[in-house]
């Protein structure tokens, strides 16, 4: 059985103080020693916790490490302003700081270790859809439920577009000297522009696919486009065009489970 919120195997009830100390110590050890030098003994020594306290909560060192590294992204779960655009802007701004931090380096390092160490890979696969990813998609889902975007819009696609743009920017400018960037880069303006561009694209796509075929001109409209995959009840009505458009241009886009 797993915890519905974190995906962890159920053990001793959550204790925020113990988790915070264990996570901080685990990240320190991993950053200094890597996976080959990561051991429960090192974590207990750094945290001042007993080994029994750790094993009551995590079945092995890999499970502890995965939770400790993923905990650095927990800031995403607290974003809920009542506006999807504002939520996405806040997410993008915090995420930009995150992908420039040492915590992001640990996240990337964990992904690399998972390729070569089955124990790490298995721990990641036990919760392949962690809470911080669910929270990002929930931002878009709430907006969709409030009618801020068309009902057929993929929550996964919007979240991926925003996060992907931020990640790419941070990666491509990671070693650009500050004096080169100067005042040309305003992070607040940048993330707002990313979000507005993505949302403008969603609404433009919806507008194109819902135009009457007679007004759209040759080759436009979706009168002759095969129906998008999925239950008919989810693809009928004026908002079906968004799903059809995405399926036509990008193949079948399946949203992750919630």
Please, are residues 57 and 69 in contact by the beta-carbon 8 Å criterion? no
Query: What is the tens place of the pLDDT at every residue in 198-229?
Result: 999 999 988 766 666 545 454 444 333 333 33
Q: What is the pLDDT of residue 212?
A: 62
**Cα Rg for the chain, rounded, in angstroms?**
22
Integer CA distances (angstroms), 143 to 5, 18, 152, 154, 199, in order = 21, 35, 12, 12, 11
Q: What is the pTM of this model?
A: 0.72
Query: What is the tens place of the pLDDT at every residue in 92-142?
Result: 999 999 999 999 999 999 999 999 999 999 999 998 778 888 899 999 999
Q: What is the pLDDT of residue 154?
A: 93
Q: What is the pLDDT of residue 11?
A: 52
Q: What is the pLDDT of residue 176?
A: 81
The domain defined by 74-250 folds into: Tetracycline Repressor; domain 2 (1.10.357)
Please, are residues 107 and 125 in contact by the beta-carbon 8 Å criterion? no
């Amino acid at each position: 059985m797993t915890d519905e919120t974190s995906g962890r195997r159920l053990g001793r009830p959550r204790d925020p103080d113990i988790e915070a100390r264990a996570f901080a110590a685990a990240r320190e050890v991993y950053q200094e020693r890597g996976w080959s030098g990561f051991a429960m003994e090192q974590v207990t020594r750094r945290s001042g916790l007993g080994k029994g306290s750790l094993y009551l909560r995590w079945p092995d060192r890999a499970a502890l490490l995965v939770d400790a590294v993923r905990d650095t992204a927990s800031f995403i779960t607290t974003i809920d302003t009542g506006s999807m655009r504002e939520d996405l802007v806040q997410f993008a701004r915090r995420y930009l700081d995150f992908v420039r931090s040492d915590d992001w380096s640990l996240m990337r390092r964990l992904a690399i270790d998972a390729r070569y160490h089955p124990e790490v890979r298995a721990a990641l696969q036990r919760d392949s859809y962690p809470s911080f990813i669910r929270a990002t998609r929930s931002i878009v889902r709430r907006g969709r439920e409030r009618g801020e975007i068309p009902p057929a819009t993929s929550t996964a696609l919007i979240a991926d577009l925003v996060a992907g743009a931020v990640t790419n920017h941070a990666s491509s400018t990671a070693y650009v000297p500050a004096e080169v960037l100067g005042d040309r880069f305003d992070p607040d303006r940048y993330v707002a522009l990313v979000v507005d561009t993505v949302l403008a694209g969603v609404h433009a796509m919806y507008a194109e696919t819902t135009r009457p075929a007679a007004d759209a001109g040759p080759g436009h409209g979706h009168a002759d486009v095969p129906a998008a995959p999925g239950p008919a009840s989810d693809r009928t009505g004026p908002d079906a065009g968004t799903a059809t458009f995405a399926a036509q241009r990008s193949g079948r886009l399946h949203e992750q489970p919630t």
